[in-house]
Structure 1
């Protein structure tokens, strides 16, 4: 049986405070299983509040939180050899001096939080990465897919927090009025679709059609928004036929219902948070993953599961298909000759609530209806795409 990857504890990750977590952008570890994202202290506080208060239902709809990192100058604290092999936008770095030079460069760019958050000096980021010395370490939700289709949907009618400067409020209110935020409570912030166009010249080098933020701002409106989601899911060019597409939509419906339930049961306020939709975008791989999932579920159902195996029209979170967690007997030695890959639930789809730079728990204020407006609109759309209205 192959060796399992050891996931470091939050305390161990905090020790790696050199933050190869690239403040020019997000990074992954060398295996791609961890996602390292520059963030504000507020976002770290929100993850820690979920953990500290034992909100298991809330943690279930968020990416798995592994800890946080803080950028330090390697001239002050020597680099640990364990940091070699970190993935950056430029590729894999294995030279300690090269990594140290990059970190020194990033330290020099960091703006103190007090300055960065100053309301009087707020200006639009224009898509640039935030300047911060803190990063959050998460499980990479897109890890394990052959060709992951990814959709980022920003939630809310109102997009600004109470402490936002007046200019930011004015600008974000204008965005809300001009986009689907105003009536539906969400906007497509970007998506990538494997073989997402019949015209191959529009694909990137990995075969994806990329829809940037302007797609959701300038192209998508209240009248054609359902077609935009249809473009994300149904794709004959990649082998996603009507039956497969409807199955994926039905799975997202079940998870959206769970997100709605959790948000309705907690008192929070979050602004500009997003829902991240991921599913296997290669039709052949998607069909194979469902079949493999069925085999595993049938094999283990007598002891571990009470729900039926999935089909092309019945896939969902209740069957744990987004987890990628190995199924193990209490006695590992009993399965010593069995390949670990045969016991691994394949990645089929994932839905996670992300981006908590302006999020907090607010006891006494009731559920976050601003965010729930977007979730409920998405539920209506995915139910339509799943054929539930037929």
Structure 2
């Protein structure tokens, strides 16, 4: 039986730490993000083996999201979460004294974020791409406004065009609701979340993709580190303590990297602007080794187009704890299961054995991190 939904609407905020992916994500509260529902991905979360759950975001249910245009021309995202969220959200709203972030659609069709964060953070794109790049320093990862821009624009346009006809004006108009899945916000426990999004595997197309799409995906793999390492960078943000801001990279940067460039990018990911955080490497290697062991036991599973997130806190280590372990400060999680499959999906194409392409990427990552630790640790 579906959980009773809250009677009070919640205005969603942009998820400012999104570093990659196609689907736009929003924050329901500090520990929960919302992602557009894809049936296969929902099924995967609902049928995920227990041993894999420690390596994926916690799945929290499904909500409907409405795109509403208010009287000031802002496109606001309104959701009715499960009843269990009502009290927690009420407390958070009463404690928050800051202006909430909103998505605004300009007359030109471009999207922007307005609002102040409770703890303002500054992001800068390392390699802007012409007119698509966010100008200067912004209070969110620049990828946020690029992510699935067309889909967001269409939904916002639906809100603009779905009001009542006639000469009267309405205080707000709404587009048809969209279903979203609720997932754990993997960055919530970090003050300055440094995030590495890695596209995993040697195959980046689904079984049901068209022949033309398969060829395009194969060509992309062949010209990137996906073919040589089974992994490529899909996005990254790393906090620079000397600059007091995040430096961001996107998937276009990752596609250009050679094997040696990939190694240098890993070093950049653990460099805080003043020092190389080699103290993080043992925990990263241990966590990846645990993941590899779990994946080797998942027969019939294929994680086509899935990604791996590596996360740690960019704040400097406490000076009075120089020997403390970084294990609790490092997280490794699999995300994006829109094209995942296993034998219980009853798909026309069935696979046997573990996903060796994904595992190859994990092993390459472990090997390269060990090399960095040897050279700089």
2:323 to 288, 294, 311: 311
Taking structure 1 as reference, are residues 225 and 72 closer, same or farther at Cα in structure 2, changes over 3 Å only? closer
Give the C-alpha shift of residue 181 in structure 1: 0.3
Q: CA deviation at 1:208?
A: 1.2
Q: Which moved more, 1:61-70 or 1:268-277?
A: 61-70
Q: Which residue of 2 aligns with 1:181?
A: 226
Structure 2 match to 1:382: 369
> How far 1:69 moved relative to its partner?
2.2
| Alignment correspondent of 2:341 | 360
Q: For residues 159 and 371 of structure 1, what CA distance do their matches in structure 2 show?
A: 10
Report the equivalent of 2:146.
none
Deviations 1:27-56 (A, max 9, x none): 1124x2111111311111100001xxxx22
Q: Which residue of 1 aligns with 2:51?
A: 57
Q: Deviations over 1:149-198 (max 9, x none)?
A: 111000011100110112211111111011000111111001011128x7
Conserved? CA contact 2:303–2:355, under 8 Å: yes
Give the distance between the partners of 1:252 and 1:183, measured in 2 at CA.
21
- Residue in 1 that maps onto 2:45: 47
Matched, 1:234 2:271: yes
The correspondence for 1:269, drawn from 302, 319, 323, is 302
Secondary structure at the counterpart of residue 232 of structure 2? strand
- Report the CA distance between 1:14 and its aligned residue: 9.4
Q: When the two structures are superposed, what TM-score results if normalisation uses the length of structure 2?
A: 0.64
Task: Check 1:249–1:73 CA distance in 2 against 1; reply closer, same or farther (3 A cut).
Answer: closer
2:186 and 2:356 mapped to 1: Cα distance?
A: 26
Determine helix, strand or coil for the equivalent of 1:28.
Answer: strand
Matched with 1:287 is 318
Alignment of 1:6-155 (within 5 A): 11=3, 25-30=24-29, 32-50=30-48, 55-71=49-65, 88-89=102-103, 90=113, 105=155, 108=158, 133-155=178-200
Query: Helix, strand or coil for the counterpart of 1:384?
Result: helix
1:259 pairs with one of 279, 287, 291: 291
Which structure has greater helix proportion? 1
Q: Which residue of 1 aligns with 2:71?
A: none
Q: Which structure 2 segments of 5+ residues have no match?
A: 15-21, 69-77, 94-99, 104-112, 117-151, 160-175, 345-350
Check conservation: 2:201, 2:360, Cα contact below 8 A: yes
Q: Which residue of 1 aligns with 2:109?
A: none
Aligned: 1:168 with 2:251: no
The answer to whether the 8 A contact 2:64-2:79 is kept is no
**Count of aligned positions:** 281
2:250 aligned partner: 212
Q: CA RMSD of the aligned region, Å?
A: 3.9
CA 1:104–1:60: 2 relative to 1, 3 Å: same
Deviation, 1:373, is 1.1
In structure 2, C-alpha distance between the alignment counterparts of 1:17 and 1:370, rounded to whole Å: 43
Q: Any conservation in 2 of the 1:184–1:374 contact (CA below 8 Å)? A: yes
- Distance in structure 2 (CA, Å) of the matches to 1:221 and 1:178: 9
Taking structure 1 as reference, are residues 235 and 79 closer, same or farther at Cα in structure 2, changes over 3 Å only? Answer: closer
In structure 2, relative to structure 1, the CA distance for the partners of 1:228 and 1:73 (3 Å cut) is closer
